[in-house]
């Protein structure tokens, strides 16, 4: 009986994984009916992340330029 239960547990685990996959697909599928909403959210997150990275790079660049110019002045 225990191997049978283990097999059932394995099947349940597989079913859970399938359910998780289905839920992910449902999210994407839900985006299918409202394609704009999910896709726009993804694009907004990517754009915001890129914007933050650009600001960080610019800040570091400006700091390095300022630091090097100050060291030359001193």
Q: What is the pLDDT of residues 45-66, one digit of tens each?
A: 999 999 999 999 999 999 888 8
The answer to whether the CB of 51 falls within 8 A of the CB of 44 is no
Residues 8 and 27 in one domain: yes
pLDDT score for 68: 74
Residues 28 and 49 in one domain: no
- Per-residue DSSP letter, 34: T
Indicate yes or no: pTM above 0.75. no
The answer to whether the CB of 62 falls within 8 A of the CB of 54 is no
Count: domains in the chain: 2
Query: What gap in Å lies between CA 19 and CA 26, rounded to an integer?
Result: 10
Query: What gap in Å lies between CA 19 and CA 30, rounded to an integer?
Result: 15
pLDDT digits (tens, 9 = 90+) for 7-38: 554 555 555 555 545 444 444 444 444 555 56
pLDDT score for 42: 87
Residues 73 and 44 in one domain: yes
> Whole domain around residue 5: which residue ranges?
1-33
């Amino acid at each position: 009986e225990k191997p049978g239960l283990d097999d059932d547990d394995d099947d349940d685990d597989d079913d859970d994984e399938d359910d998780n996959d289905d839920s992910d697909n449902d999210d994407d599928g839900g985006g299918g009916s409202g394609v704009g909403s999910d896709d726009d959210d993804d694009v907004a997150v990517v754009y915001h992340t890129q914007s933050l990275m650009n600001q960080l790079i610019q800040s570091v660049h400006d700091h390095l330029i300022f630091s090097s110019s100050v060291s030359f002045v001193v």
